[in-house]
Amino acid sequence: MSSQPNRVLAMYEKMEKLPAGKALFAMAICRKAPYFGTVRPRLITLRRNYCEAIIKKRRGVENHIGTMHVIAICNGLEFAMGVLAEASVPAHLRWIPKGMDVRYTAKAETDIRVIAEVDEDAWDNGPELPVRVRALRDDDTVVVEGVIHLWVTEKPQRN
């Protein structure tokens, strides 16, 4: 584990103290990765190895039956995973998504909380890192659950 502080987590911790700081931080993430902006994620909690955000149910993320489209939910889950990874990855490592395995377990009829988390020692366990993800309705019913697999490697040496 690197003793060097993670700059993304440090930026979040500084911004969360400001009025609308969490919203501004999420907007900055969406500016860096524009597709996340399609679900307008709002950050609730970010700490090392854990991220929680919310996606508001609105017409732009609904399907033909009026529930939140599962692909919008998966986009939210990938947002949470990406923020977790950027705020947690040790300075000598880099990551890239390798795949996503999810199950749809209930209708998404409300706003949806998306959560991504890994164990404390996860970054020390080799090149593949499974990030547990889940999405919950307002009543805490899980609507989507699964794993996003990351490929984790050493950063190349700079000359």
69-98 residue pLDDT tens: 999 999 999 999 999 999 999 999 999 999
Q: Are 55 and 95 in contact (CB under 8 A)?
A: no
Q: Rounded to the nearest 10 degrees, how much is the dihedral formed by the CA atoms of 39, 44, 50, 56? A: -30
Could you please state the CATH topology (level 3) that the domain comprising 7-154 is classified under.
Answer: Thiol Ester Dehydrase; Chain A (3.10.129)
> Phi and psi dihedrals of 29, rounded to 5?
-60, -45
Instruction: Give burial (CB, 10 Å; 0-12/13-18/19+) of 109.
Output: middle
Q: What is the C-alpha separation between 79 and 54, in angstroms, rounded?
A: 10
pLDDT in tens, 111-138: 999 999 999 999 998 899 999 999 999 9
Average pLDDT for 134-149: 98
Q: Are 147 and 131 in contact (CB under 8 A)?
A: yes
What are the sequence ranges of the domains in the chain?
7-154
pLDDT of 3 reads 52
Q: What is the pTM of this model?
A: 0.93
Average pLDDT for 43-61: 97
* Cα 158–Cα 1–Cα 120 angle in degrees, nearest 5: 130
